Amino acid sequence: MSKKSLLIAAVAILVIAIIGVTYLLFTEKQANRELVQEFQLDKEDLENEYTRFAQQYDELKMTISNDSLSHLLEQEQLKTQRLLEELRTVKSSNATEIRRLKKELATLRKVMIGYINQIDSLNKLTERQKQVIADVTEKYNKASQQISNLSEEKKNLDKKVTLAAQLDATNIRIDPRNKRGKVAKKVKDVVKLAISFTVVKNITAENGERTLYIRITKPDNDVLTKSASNTFPYENRTLAYSIKKYIEYTGEEQNVNVFWDVEEFLYAGNYRVDIFEDGNLIGSQSFILN
């Protein structure tokens, strides 16, 4: 072969080699570009994952009231935020760091799942505790209501017993009399008021001495009384009385007569007699003086 032919062959081989190397370089550059793009996508996905993790820790902390667990979640959240900052400073082409941060993310995911399970168990326990407390409270309220009902029933029973033992005055009669002891026709002739009534039979009432207070009220609601000190207790206050009468009660029907000597001016109108015993109003009767 001539020198010229060898030279042509050498040049052809060199050209082919240059073309081959150029093609390989181009192919490798294209592969590197695709790899960088892939790492860039991985980095963006990782950043999104870390950001979601940081937000989830905030949500988890809002669901618990346990201080110790809340502190642990806070530490994990800080760790997640620190790794997120590291990731943001890593170049997309740094495959080693991206792989490491991927592994860290996998570890964080396992830790978070553990905390979620733990919080779920605590919440279930809390719900059970709330239910127990609710049940106990309901039972307590029922028991309190029953006691209140029993107390009210006892109070009503005591009231009924008290009412049953209370004296009762009936057949109340008021006769205005003149100075001759006859029934007075005119109010100006009245010198005495004769009041009679019957204390009815009551076998539940206690026997013994009883004090009766008789009030005579004028049309202007002023009470006839001989002294301002003539008072008795009634419903947390004191009332003036006109006549005080002692009787010996035996449980049987008993007729009572009392008299009021008129020493004051009386005028025509509606008058009323009220009879009290042991703090109770036991009878009333109105009458007219003309």
pLDDT tens digits, one per residue of 219-278: 999 999 999 999 999 988 999 999 999 999 998 999 999 999 999 999 999 999 999 998
Cβ atoms < 10 Å from Cβ of 250 = 11
* 110 and 76 Cβ atoms separated by less than 8 Å: no
146 CB-near residues (< 8 Å, 6+ apart):
none
- Do 279 and 235 contact (CB within 8 A), yes or no? yes
What does the alpha-carbon distance between residue 220 and residue 63 come to, in Å, rounded to a whole number?
Answer: 74
Query: Higher confidence at residue 148 or residue 44?
Result: 44
- Mean pLDDT across the chain: 77
Mean pLDDT of 279-286: 91
pLDDT score for 37? 44
Q: With 60 as the cut, is the pLDDT of residue 24 above it?
A: no
Mean pLDDT over 114-134 rounds to 69
Indicate whether 195 pLDDT > 90.
yes
Q: What is the per-residue burial (b if ≥16 Cβ within 10 Å, else e) of 10-25?
A: eeeeeeeeeeeeeeee
261: its two tokens = 């000597």
Q: What is the pLDDT of residue 46?
A: 73
pTM of the model: 0.47
**Percentage, residues of the chain above pLDDT 90:** 34
As to burial, measured by CB atoms within 10 angstroms (0-12 exposed, 13-18 middle, 19+ buried), residue 139 is: exposed
What's the confidence (pLDDT) of residue 160? Answer: 47
From 16, 84, 79, 74, select the one nearest 47 (Cα to Cα).
Answer: 84
Q: Are 73 and 60 in contact (CB under 8 A)?
A: yes
Question: How does DSSP classify residue 183?
Answer: B
Q: Is the pLDDT of residue 191 over 90?
A: yes
Q: Is pLDDT at 181 greater than 80 in this prediction? A: yes
What does the DSSP assignment read for 89-154? HS-TT-HHHHHHHHHHHHHHHHHHHHHHHHHHHHHHHHHHHHHHHHHHHHHHHHHHHHHHHHHHHH
181: left (phi over 0), alpha (psi -120 to 50) or beta: left
pLDDT beyond 80 at 184: yes
- Strands of the chain, DSSP E: 169-177, 192-199, 208-217, 231-234, 237-240, 243-249, 254-261, 269-277, 280-289
Q: Three-class SS of residue 86?
A: helix
Residue 101 has pLDDT above 50, yes or no: yes
Q: What percent of the chain has pLDDT over 70?
A: 69
Q: What is the mean pLDDT of residues 71-93?
A: 75
Classify each residue of 279-288 as buried b or exposed e, where b means 16 or more C-beta atoms within 10 Å of its C-beta: ebebbebebe
CA dihedral 242, 246, 252, 254 (to 10 degrees): -50
At 25-55, the pLDDT tens digits run: 445 444 444 444 444 446 677 777 777 777 7
Residue 158 confidence (pLDDT): 45
